[in-house]
Homo-oligomer: A and B are copies of this chain.
């Protein structure tokens, strides 16, 4: 059976989303088909509202409804510390901890020659400009602890060296609730090297 065209097109569109395969797309489309028309309209309206109202903050490249995001605008935040992250989802994850009160800078990825991401395609120039134009005391590099994240951190550290500010990297070690016995050697090694003095 060739599916009715509107259904087929919807399945194709859903299939384009990350981690949505053809079977899942079909299941979602058939679920929507059985839903109330009102529910579909709600989804449609939320997509349109997101498309038309969400901007990228001109300062830190986080999501925002205005030109500057809530975090950049807030008078309560410490604007002498910038936490550099890969994606907006990392901002959300760090904000959830309530452990950080500074500003962010979303790079939009990490250096990755294999997938064609070079320094020019990331917001590195913008970061350098922010550091040179305002009174920044510390840059925290909160990039993923993988090869690309590590090399991007080293690259940024080298570039930012000339400003004579504190450059830090978030700690590597055992995750909370983790078990030494089952952790991999690299993680245990980093945890030992990065030990902190208690008394």
Q: List the interface of chain A (C-beta within 8 A of B).
A: 1-7, 9-10, 12-14, 16-20, 24, 26-33, 37, 39-44, 46-51, 53-54, 63-65, 69-71, 87-89, 91-92, 95-96
Tell me, in angstroms, the Cα distance from A88 to B4 when the chains sit together. 12
Given contacts A43-B13, A54-B7, contact A1 B91 (CB under 8 A): yes
Interface contact B32-A47, CB-CB below 8 Å: yes
When the two chains form the complex, which single residue of B19, B26, B37 contacts A24, counting CB atoms closer than 8 Å? B19
From known contacts A1-B91, A7-B54, A63-B7, infer whether A17 and B31 are also in contact, taking CB-CB under 8 Å: yes
Contact of A63 among B31, B33, B53 (CB under 8 A): B33
State whether A7 touches B44 (Cβ < 8 A): no
A-B residue pairs in contact (CB < 8 Å), sample of 24: A1-B91, A1-B95, A3-B92, A4-B69, A4-B70, A5-B65, A6-B54, A6-B65, A7-B50, A7-B54, A9-B50, A10-B50, A13-B46, A16-B39, A18-B31, A19-B27, A20-B28, A30-B88, A30-B89, A32-B47, A33-B54, A33-B88, A40-B50, A40-B51
